[in-house]
């Protein structure tokens, strides 16, 4: 009697993991793809260890988890500057005890060098929390908002336009024409004469689909 071949079990997380790997590789365009892939998955294993090892790693590393509140602290330290030097930003990151691997990942995805455009770096750091573009932009608005009166987080539409365009470009899965249509609609139909956009303007409006 022939032995029944054992079926292959594919982890449900694998398709998403491979998709993220492919996107990261396209962004980085490494010369040695095999070595880059080895480094990528090694770093991934360090960031997402097996469940039984997580408590041990936490005890050893004692890193602080990235939160919007910590990003607000970093933003206040940048103090309105558009450009920040990499060494200074790395030191700020270290002071709030955030993981070095995460900092290096943001630097790699953004292809930042010595001089870093702060808003771009912030957007990519927020994407580590937001997952989707809409959630990422919501977090960015919360970090950048200067409204201390308990109202909805809000930023200038020009800033939102810059951030949405950049994040969509890095993501690579949203066409430039779709981004343009959404921005035109928001500018013409949603934004008031003050030129300000609130979180609800792009999260609660059914006609605004950023993804």
Q: What is the DSSP string of 144-177?
A: H----SS---EEEHHHHHHHHHHHHHHH--S-HH
Q: Which pair of structure tokens corresponds to residue 21?
A: 């790997």
Residue written as tokens 């491979």? 18
pTM of the model: 0.69
User: What are the 10-residue block averages of pLDDT along the chain, 211 residues in total?
Assistant: 52 67 64 71 52 38 77 90 94 89 92 94 91 91 78 90 94 90 92 90 90 85
Report the pLDDT value the prediction gives residue 131, as an integer from 0 to 100. 74
Residue written as tokens 């079990």? 9
Helix axes 118-130, 133-144, angle to 10 degrees: 130
């Amino acid at each position: 009697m022939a032995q029944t071949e054992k079926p292959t079990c594919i982890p449900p997380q694998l398709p998403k993991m491979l998709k993220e790997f492919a996107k990261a590789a396209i962004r980085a365009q490494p010369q040695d793809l095999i070595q880059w892939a080895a480094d990528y998955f090694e770093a991934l294993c360090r960031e997402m260890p097996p469940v039984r090892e997580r408590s041990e790693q936490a005890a050893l590393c004692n890193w602080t988890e990235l939160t919007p509140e910590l990003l607000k602290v970093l933003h206040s330290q940048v103090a309105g500057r558009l450009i920040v030097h990499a060494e200074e930003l790395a030191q700020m990151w270290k002071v709030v005890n955030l993981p070095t691997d995460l900092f290096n990942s943001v630097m790699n995805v953004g292809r930042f060098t010595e001089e870093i455009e702060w808003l771009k770096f912030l957007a990519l750091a927020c994407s580590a929390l937001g997952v989707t573009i809409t959630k990422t932009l919501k977090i960015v608005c919360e970090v950048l908002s200067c409204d201390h009166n308990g109202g909805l987080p809000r930023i200038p539409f020009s800033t939102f336009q810059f951030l949405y365009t950049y994040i969509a470009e890095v993501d690579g899965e949203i066409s430039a024409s779709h981004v343009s249509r959404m921005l035109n609609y928001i500018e013409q139909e949603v934004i008031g004469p003050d030129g300000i956009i609130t979180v609800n303007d792009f999260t609660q409006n059914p006609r605004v689909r950023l993804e």
